[in-house]
C-alpha cells in the first residue's frame, strides 16, 4: 500500500543528552505499529518526532511523501487537522460537550456541518455499538468508556 511515514537519519537531544541519533524508520500505509521500550528509551520522543509535534536536531520525517520537517506552523496544523488523530493516555474529552459532539469535534473544526457526515457517523456508531451513549455528557459515562471514545478521533477527521 506504500509508505505512510518515514524517518531519515533523525536525531534529537535534550540538554546535551542524545535521545536518539541517526535513526531510520519506515511505516507502511495501513500498518498497526507498536513502539515498545522502557521509560526513558525515547519512545515518546520518537512518536512526537514522527507526528511533527516536536522539532528535530537533524534529519527529516516524511508523511505521505511530504517533508513535514520543513512545514511551517500553519501547514503542519492543517495536516494535523485533516490527516492525523491523537489519542492520549489520559482522556481529554471536552466535558461540556455531549459524546456525539465530542466525536464530531474534528469535523466541526474543519468547518463542516453534521449533515455532510451523518451517514458515516451513524455507521461508526453502529459499528462500535455506542448509539446509547451519544446524548450523554462525559461525566455521565465511565472513565474507560471516555478513553474508548477518544480512540474514535483517529478516524473522524476522515469521515466525508
Partner 1 sequence: MEYLSKLHKEYQVTIIQVTHDASTTEYSDKIIHLVDGKIKD
Binding site for partner 1 (CB under 8 A): 1, 4-5, 18-21, 23, 25, 27-39, 41-44, 46-47, 50-51, 85, 87, 127-128, 148, 151-152, 154-155, 158
The residue (of 38 and 55) whose beta carbon lies closer to partner 1 is: 38
Q: Which three three-digit cell numbers place residue 128?
A: 462500535
Q: What gap in Å lies between CA 64 and CA 122, rounded to an integer? A: 29
The residue (of 61 and 76) whose beta carbon lies closer to partner 1 is: 61
The residue (of 69 and 156) whose beta carbon lies closer to partner 1 is: 156
The residue (of 17 and 72) whose beta carbon lies closer to partner 1 is: 17
Min dist CB 34 to partner 1, Å, is: 4
Min dist CB 61 to partner 1, Å, is: 12
Longest dimension (CA), the chain: 52
Q: Residue 40 gets which letter from DSSP? A: T
**68-101 per-residue burial string, b: 16 or more CB within 10 A, e: under 16:** bbebeeeebeebbeeebbeeeeebebeeeebbbb
Query: Which secondary structure element, helix H or strand E, spans residue 43, and what is its range?
Result: helix 43-50
Min dist CB 116 to partner 1, Å, is: 17
CA 110, 111, 113 angle in degrees (round to 5)?
A: 115
Min dist CB 48 to partner 1, Å, is: 9
The residue (of 25 and 105) whose beta carbon lies closer to partner 1 is: 25
Min dist CB 157 to partner 1, Å, is: 10
Measured in degrees and rounded to the nearest 5, phi and psi for residue 66 equal -95, 130
Amino acid at each position: 500500500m506504500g509508505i505512510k511515514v518515514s524517518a531519515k537519519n533523525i536525531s534529537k537531544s535534550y540538554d546535551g543528552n542524545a535521545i536518539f541519533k541517526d535513526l531510520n524508520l519506515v511505516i507502511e500505509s495501513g500498518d498497526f505499529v507498536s513502539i515498545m521500550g522502557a521509560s526513558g528509551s525515547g519512545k515518546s520522543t520518537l512518536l512526537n518526532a514522527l507526528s511533527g509535534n516536536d522539532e528535530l536536531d537533524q534529519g527529516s520525517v516524511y508523511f505521505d511523501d511530504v517533508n513535514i520537517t520543513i512545514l511551517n506552523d500553519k501547514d503542519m496544523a492543517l495536516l494535523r487537522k485533516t490527516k492525523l488523530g491523537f489519542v492520549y493516555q489520559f482522556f481529554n474529552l471536552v466535558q461540556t460537550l455531549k459524546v456525539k459532539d465530542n466525536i464530531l469535534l474534528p469535523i466541526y473544526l474543519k468547518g463542516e456541518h453534521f449533515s455532510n457526515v451523518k451517514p458515516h457517523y451513524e455507521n461508526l456508531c453502529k459499528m462500535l455499538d455506542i448509539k446509547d451513549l451519544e446524548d450523554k455528557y462525559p461525566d455521565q459515562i465511565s472513565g474507560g468508556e471516555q478513553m474508548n471514545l477518544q480512540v474514535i478521533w483517529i478516524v473522524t477527521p476522515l469521515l466525508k
